[in-house]
């Protein structure tokens, strides 16, 4: 479909959409039971044909990222399926790539066109066929780079696979290629624009699609002042696209290929519309049939339809984490990773990772209680943090009793303003 919408699915009658989703739901449950062993175990005793409503869906168990990680680790330790029994690859489109997110959690990608369904978000951000896109998401280990590239190709855009870092080389490529669009984190977008302004240049691109971090209005407005309209999307490495921003800038519209619930954190119980809760997603992807997957992210359903004419439900966007797992510079950091760092130093009595700074300018500080730290321990611990999380952190060594005895391993002290 040409014009303002990627396809006609975006402007369906809501009742038609709901009927279509509920018709697809029991088929996806049956498919998961037949071809994904871990999901079959969680859905044991469930009659797929009866799961035809949101009420029936809400009765199924929620699978959380921590469970997926633990099941994958157990399976790999036993020489079994590296995906832990959650994937159904090889029964449709062939396996194309395997990615590793922090944990590590391994995610499959098959040869299905626009496997991650990112084209819809990219189109809504103003990208059109023939555009050249400067893609600064990582192509290494994690799927973000390939995720965005496959969406660009589905829209008809060419891609410069810039990846992360190497700022000076990226600035040279921008000057030489003059791409129409940018894709990447909002923090790196700001860095590139600042560097261009320092050299007396303006960004060659006028449109951007950002993700992986919060995108506060203050940064959005600053980017717009320099001639770039940037729109955010929300997705995960497990699920692909979940929701995307439109030109109305009125929340994020849900993708057409997922069923989203907002549940009370720590439970699987849906909350009333407008109440903040955890985002739980059932994907209709047959190759990775995750049923009621708990993202750990907080959001809320917005009332009414998008002013652009898109008729799907909207969510408020990312409102924080339902658990201690925290996203830093576009990467998830898990409490288990903090524990892994601490275990490597027998002197450590208690550890806490503090994430501070404003959004898009994240800083990590690992605070360790140590009675008698050996020389060079802080530097060694910083290196281990880099090894385990792929992120840099400062390390502070504190005397025993300095940290609160509240069980918190990761503290998110960032400003969302």
Of the pLDDT bands very low, low, confident and very high (cuts 50, 70, 90), residue 405 is low
Beta bridge partners of 184: 210
pLDDT at residue 328 tops 70: yes
Long-range pairs for 399-402: beta carbons < 8 A, 24 or more residues apart: 399/369, 399/370, 399/371, 400/349, 400/350, 400/369, 400/370, 400/371, 401/369, 402/367, 402/369
pLDDT at residue 408 tops 70: no
pLDDT at residue 91 tops 70: no
Beta bridge partners of 106: 100
Residue ranges of domains in the chain? 7-56+256-322, 89-237, 328-412
**Highest-pLDDT range among 85-94, 239-248, 271-280, 312-321:** 239-248
pLDDT at residue 416 tops 70: no
Between residues 322 and 284, which one has the greater pLDDT?
A: 284
pLDDT of residue 214: 84
With beta carbons less than 8 A apart as the criterion, state whether 190 and 216 touch.
no
Beta bridge partners of 134: 160, 182
Which residue has tokens 């302004």? 197
Distance CA(270)–CA(280), nearest Å, equals: 9
Of the pLDDT bands very low, low, confident and very high (cuts 50, 70, 90), residue 326 is confident
Distance CA(9)–CA(21), nearest Å, equals: 12
- The pLDDT tens digits of the residues spanning 56-79 come to 999 999 999 889 999 999 999 999
- Rounded to the nearest 10 degrees, the angle between the axes of helix 186-198 and helix 217-225 is 30
Cis check for the bond before 104: say yes or no (omega within 30 of 0): yes
Give the domain 328-412 fold.
GMP Synthetase; Chain A, domain 3 (3.30.300)
Beta bridge partners of 258: 283
Of the pLDDT bands very low, low, confident and very high (cuts 50, 70, 90), residue 2 is low
Distance CA(107)–CA(306), nearest Å, equals: 32
- Do the domains 328-412 and 89-237 match in fold? no
- The pLDDT tens digits of the residues spanning 151-197 come to 999 999 999 999 998 999 999 999 999 999 999 999 999 999 999 99
**Highest-pLDDT range among 10-19, 64-73, 273-282, 328-337:** 10-19
pLDDT at residue 343 tops 90: no
Q: β-strand 410-412 against 348-356: which pairing, if any?
A: parallel
pLDDT of residue 349: 87
Average pLDDT score over residue span 33-60 = 97
pLDDT of residue 409: 78
Q: What is the CATH number of domain 89-237?
A: 3.40.50.12780
- The pLDDT tens digits of the residues spanning 119-138 come to 999 999 999 999 999 999 99
Q: Taking all residues of the chain, what is their mean pLDDT, rounded to a whole number? A: 92
pLDDT of residue 369: 92
Task: Tell me the CA distances in angstroms from 31 to 8, 35, 111, 160, 291, one per residue in order.
Answer: 27, 6, 19, 37, 11
pLDDT at residue 265 tops 90: no
pLDDT of residue 319: 82
Beta bridge partners of 354: 365, 411
pLDDT of residue 102: 87
Residue 261, token pair as written in the block: 């619930």
> For the chain, what percent of residues have pLDDT higher than 70?
97
Distance CA(209)–CA(231), nearest Å, equals: 5
With beta carbons less than 8 A apart as the criterion, state whether 42 and 282 touch.
no
Average pLDDT score over residue span 206-227 = 94
- pTM (predicted TM-score): 0.79
pLDDT of residue 246: 97
Beta bridge partners of 11: none
Comparing 75-84, 118-127, 330-339, the range with the smallest average pLDDT is: 330-339
Which residue has tokens 């396996």? 95
Query: SS3 sequence, the chain?
Result: CCCCCCCHHHHCCHHHHHHHHHHHHHHHHHHHHHHCHHHHHHCCCCCHHHCCCHHHHHCCCCEEHHHHHHHHHHHHHCCCCCCCCCCCCCCCCCEEEEEEECCCEEEEEECCCCCCCCHHHHHHCCCCCCCEEEECCCCCCCCHHHHHHHHHHHHCCEEEECCCCCHHHHHHHHHHHCCCEEEECHHHHHHHHHHHHHCCCCCCCCEEEECCCCCCHHHHHHHHHCCCEEEEEEEECCCEEEEEECCCCCCEEECCCEEEEEECCCCCCECCCCCCEEEEEEECCCCCCCCCEEEEEEECEECCCCCCCCCCCEECCCCCECCCCEEECCEEECHHHHHHHHHCCCCEEEEEEEEECECCCCEEEEEEEECCCCCCHHHHHHHHHHHHHCCCCEEEEECCCCCCCCCCCEEECCECC
């Amino acid at each position: 479909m040409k014009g303002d919408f990627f396809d006609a699915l975006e402007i369906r009658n809501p009742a038609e959409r709901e009927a279509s989703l509920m018709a697809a739901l029991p088929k996806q449950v049956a498919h998961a039971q037949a071809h994904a062993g871990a999901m079959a175990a969680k859905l044991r005793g469930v009659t797929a044909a009866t799961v035809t409503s949101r009420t029936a869906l809400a009765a199924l168990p929620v699978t959380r990222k921590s469970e997926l990680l633990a099941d994958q680790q157990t399976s790999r330790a036993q020489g079994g399926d590296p995906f832990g029994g959650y994937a159904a690859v090889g029964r449709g489109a062939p396996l194309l790539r395997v990615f590793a997110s922090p944990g590590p959690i391994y995610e499959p990608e098959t040869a299905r066109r626009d496997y991650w369904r990112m084209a819809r978000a990219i189109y809504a951000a103003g990208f059109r066929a023939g555009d050249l896109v400067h893609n600064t998401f990582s192509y290494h280990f994690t799927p973000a780079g390939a995720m965005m590239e496959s969406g660009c190709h589905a829209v008809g855009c060419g891609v410069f696979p810039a990846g992360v870092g190497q700022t000076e080389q990226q600035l040279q490529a921008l000057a030489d290629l003059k791409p129409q669009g940018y894709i990447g984190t909002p923090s790196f977008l700001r860095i590139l624009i600042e560097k261009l302004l320092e050299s007396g240049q303006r960004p060659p691109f006028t449109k951007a699609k950002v993700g992986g971090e919060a995108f506060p209005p203050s940064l959005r407005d600053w980017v717009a002042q320099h001639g770039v309209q940037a729109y955010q999307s929300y997705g995960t490495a497990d699920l692909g696209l979940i929701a995307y921003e439109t030109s109305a800038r009125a929340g994020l519209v849900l993708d057409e290929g997922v069923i989203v619930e907002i549940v009370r954190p720590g439970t699987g119980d849906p909350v009333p519309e407008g109440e903040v809760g955890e985002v739980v997603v059932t994907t209709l992807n047959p190759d990775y049939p995750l049923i009621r997957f708990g993202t750990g992210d907080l959001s809320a359903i917005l009332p009414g339809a998008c002013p652009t004419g898109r008729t799907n439900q909207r969510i408020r966007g990312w409102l924080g984490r339902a658990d201690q797992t925290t996203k830093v510079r576009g990467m998830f950091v898990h409490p288990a990773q903090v524990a892994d760092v601490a275990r490597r130093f027998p002197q450590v009595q208690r550890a806490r990772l503090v994430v501070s700074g404003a959004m898009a300018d994240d800083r990590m500080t690992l605070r360790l209680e140590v009675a008698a730290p050996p020389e060079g321990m802080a530097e060694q611990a910083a290196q281990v943090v880099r090894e385990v999380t792929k992120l840099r952190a400062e390390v502070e060594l504190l005397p025993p009793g300095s940290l609160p005895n509240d069980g918190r391993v990761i503290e998110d002290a960032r400003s969302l303003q």
